[in-house]
Amino acid sequence: MSTATLPPAAPAPGSAAPLPGSAPGLGLPREIPPELDRWNWGAFLLNWIWGLGNNTFLALLVFAPFVGFVMPFVLGAKGSAWAWRNGRWTSVEHFQRVQRTWAIWGVVAMVGSLALFGLLILGVVLGVSTLLNESEPYKLAVVRLQASPQAIERLGAPITAGSAGGSIKTDDGKGDGSADLTFTATGPKGDGKVFVKAVRDADMWRLTGLRLTPAGQEQALDLARPEANVVDLRLKTSNAGEAKTTFKAGEEAVLLQFTPSGVPAGTTLVADWTKLKAAGGEADDTFYQSKVVLDDVAKNLISFTVTFKDGWQAGRYRVTVSGDGIPPKSATFTVAP
C-alpha cells in the first residue's frame, strides 16, 4: 500500500497568506510600512486616552513623574509604529482611517479645551474688573478726574472713564486697606491713562495719588494735589487801603495783592501790567513786569507794587498774573483824570 503526499491547501478565495513575522491571523507585517510611520496627532493630543484605545499602555507614562511631560511628544513620534504593532488591523486603509479619526477627535478636544480655558479666563477678568469698577477708590478717582480743570483742559468734557485694572487689599477686621488702580480716560480732545493710589483708614477711603498721563505725552498731571492757582486779586494804593478798581491820576503807586493756592515752592509768579487802548479793549505792549519766586509753599499773600515818580496817567489798565502750570488771572482797573 502506498501513500501519497498531498500539496498544501490553497488559501481560500479572497484571503492572503500570512507573512513571516505578521500578527497572528491577520497577514500584515509587524513592521509598520514606511509611508505610515509618521507623526501621530491623535497620540500626541489625546496621549493616554489614545493609548488605551490602541493597546499602547506605555501612554500611561504621561502620569509618571519626570517623564510625563515628554511622553506626549514620544507618543507623537512613535505612536504610529506602536499602534500598528499592538493593534489588529485588517488593512493599511483600516489603520489610516482609525488614526485619522483619533487625530480629528484630538483636534476637537484641544480646541474645546482652549475655548473653555479662554472663557474661564474671560470670566475671571470680567469678574475682577466689575468688582474694581464698583469699588470706592475707583468711584472717588472718577469723580475727581471728571471735575478736574486740568483734566478737562487736556481731554475736554465730558470725560469717560474705562474699566479699572489693578488690585485692592483690605483688612475688614482693622478697617484699613490700600488700592493701586489704572484705567483709561477719554474726552472730546483726546485720551489718556489714569493711575490711582488710595488708602483706607477706619473704613474711610481717601485718594493719596491721582495722575493723568495724556496720550502722546510723557509728563503726568498730578490731579491729587490741589490745582495750582492764584485767587483773590485785589488792587489798592497801600496795604492798609481798601480794594478798588478806580484810582486817581497822579497817584504814585498801585498795589496788587493775591493769594497763591496749591502753587509749589520754587514757582515763578509773573504779573504783566498793560495799558489798554481806548477802543475795543485791545492791549498795547506790556509796559512793566513784576516777578517773584515762591520760596514758601505756605505763603498766603503776594504783593506787587508799581510806582511812577510823576504818578499814573489816566487810562484803562489790566494786570495779569501767571506762572508755570497756573491759569492766568487778570484784574482790570481805571485811572481817572
Q: How does residue 18 score in pLDDT terms, banded at 50, 70 and 90?
A: very low
Closest CA to 47 of 23, 65, 73, 28: 73
Asked if residue 291 lies in contact with residue 268, where contact means CB atoms within 8 angstroms, the answer is yes
pLDDT at 106 over 70: yes
Task: Please compute the mean of the pLDDT values over residues 310-335 and round it to a whole number.
Answer: 88
Report domain extents, the chain. 34-128, 136-222, 229-336
H-only helix segments in the chain: 41-53, 71-86, 92-133, 136-147, 149-155
Report d(CA 213, CA 236) in Å as an integer.
Answer: 41
Q: Residues of the chain with pLDDT > 90: what percent?
A: 23
**pLDDT number for residue 73:** 93
If one compares 33 and 281, the residue with the highest pLDDT of the two is 33
**pLDDT number for residue 170:** 80
Lowest-confidence region among 4-8, 108-112, 219-223:
4-8
What's the start-to-end Cα distance of the chain, in Å?
166
Burial class (CB in 10 A: 0-12, 13-18, 19+), 86: middle
Q: Which amino acid is at 114?
A: L
Task: Please compute the mean of the pLDDT values over residues 201-210 and round it to a whole number.
Answer: 83
Task: Please compute the mean of the pLDDT values over residues 250-259 and round it to a whole number.
Answer: 89
Task: Return the C-alpha cell found at 296.
Answer: 514758601
Q: Is the pTM of this model over 0.85?
A: no
pLDDT tens for each residue of 67-93: 888 999 999 899 899 999 888 888 888
pLDDT at 227 over 70: no
Q: How does residue 184 score in pLDDT terms, banded at 50, 70 and 90?
A: very high
CA dihedral 138, 144, 148, 152 (to 10 degrees): 40
Task: Please compute the mean of the pLDDT values over residues 300-308 and round it to a whole number.
Answer: 87
Specify the CATH number for 229-336; select among 2.60.40.1930, 3.10.105.10, 3.90.226.10, 3.30.530.20.
Answer: 2.60.40.1930
pLDDT at 178 over 80: yes
Strands 302-307 and 204-214: unpaired
Asked if residue 242 lies in contact with residue 222, where contact means CB atoms within 8 angstroms, the answer is no
Task: Return the C-alpha cell found at 242.
Answer: 481798601
pLDDT at 297 over 70: no
